[in-house]
Amino acid sequence: MVYHMQTVLHVGPANSPGGMASVIRILANNPPEGWSAEILNSHSTKGIIAKLLAWKNAKKAVKNSNADLIHIHCAADWSFRRKLSIAKKANAPVVFHIHSGKFNIDCKKELNDFHVVCLSDGWSERLSNLIGDSTAILNPVEPSISPGVKRDDFVLLMGRADPVKGHDFAFSLGLAKLKVTGLNIAPEGVEALGWVSEEEKLKLLQTAKVLLVPSGYEGQPMVILEALAANCPIIASTNVPDLPDCIISIDLNDRDGWVKAIDQPITSGLLEAVEPHRIENVQKKWQRLYDEIIASNASTE
């Protein structure tokens, strides 16, 4: 008897900066036992024509794919619509994985033929009226991240140049030593680092006094998981859901509370909080879902 290893094709913005690309890369590099993984990029950062071309190519590639399972990664709004059109081209079962922290589309009927996955039990419950039943599987943390040994006296904010990430709020705190990624220009006294490499990102998380996440909304931020794995204290906005007790959560209207928390961050319990996100734990959840989908599909053929 010849053993057949199953293949899952991850479809999403794999070549773009951000947390979703990190999830795709980690899952593809660490597939469950008995599975191999491939990546299909569906997005471009080089303008509308390049985006449309990437979308068109992704639809064609999914239609012609020989993968046993198509794993679609999506955000909200037009990302959802594009990914839905790609999913409909699949000739294999589809996992529709929703990453967005601002998903508001009523799409139960449209997702009825797919296996929907959310970022946590909390997100499955919040979105149930919009998407129907779903499976909750946590985001994985990069296995190679190790805790920092010595911390410097600077505060860190990491995120794309988007108002939702809260750069302006961080500037308004008047911090003496603030470093921000995602921006090339910042107010005087703030160090703007632009986009940083994975190696630079890890070094920042291993040495920062504290990470700020003053976001207007989030799903399950990869930077928080990475900071926990690097043993970096975190202060986050109350707009970020499902946070462990070791992360200080403060309303964006309470600037004094943010300043006080920066001076007195929680430094214990960080590594314990990230344990459920370790790849060996997340792999087991994906293996169970993937195998169930394949078994179910085989029984209906």
Give per-residue pLDDT as tens, 201-242.
Answer: 999 999 999 999 999 999 999 999 999 999 999 999 999 999
Return mean pLDDT, the chain: 94
Check whether domain 6-140+278-299 has CATH 3.40.50.2000, yes or no = yes
Instruction: Please report, as a single letter, which amino acid is at residue 269.
Output: G
Instruction: Please report, as a single letter, which amino acid is at residue 136.
Output: A
**Tokens matching residue 211:** 């990470």
**Tokens matching residue 271:** 């590594």
- CA distances in angstroms from 292 to 7, 120, 136, 296, listed in the order given: 14, 19, 15, 6
DSSP state at residue 3: -
Query: What pLDDT score was predicted for residue 255?
Result: 96
> Helix, strand, or coil here: 70?
strand
CATH 3.40.50.2000, the chain: domain bounds: 6-140+278-299, 155-276
| Range name among 70-74, 148-152, 279-283 with the lowest pLDDT average | 148-152
Sheet holding 135-136, edge to edge: 35-41, 6-12, 69-74, 94-98, 115-118, 135-136
Query: What pLDDT score was predicted for residue 299?
Result: 61
CB atoms near residue 289 (< 10 Å):
18
pLDDT over 70 at 148, yes or no: yes
Q: What is the CATH number of domain 155-276?
A: 3.40.50.2000
Query: Of 199, 198, 197, 152, nearest to 179 (Cα)?
Result: 152
Entry pTM? 0.93
CB atoms near residue 63 (< 10 Å):
12
Instruction: Give residue-wise pLDDT tens across range 159-217.
Output: 988 899 999 999 999 999 999 999 999 999 999 999 999 899 999 999 999 999 999 99
**Tokens matching residue 69:** 């399972």
246 contacts 162 by C-beta, under 8 angstroms: no
204 contacts 230 by C-beta, under 8 angstroms: no
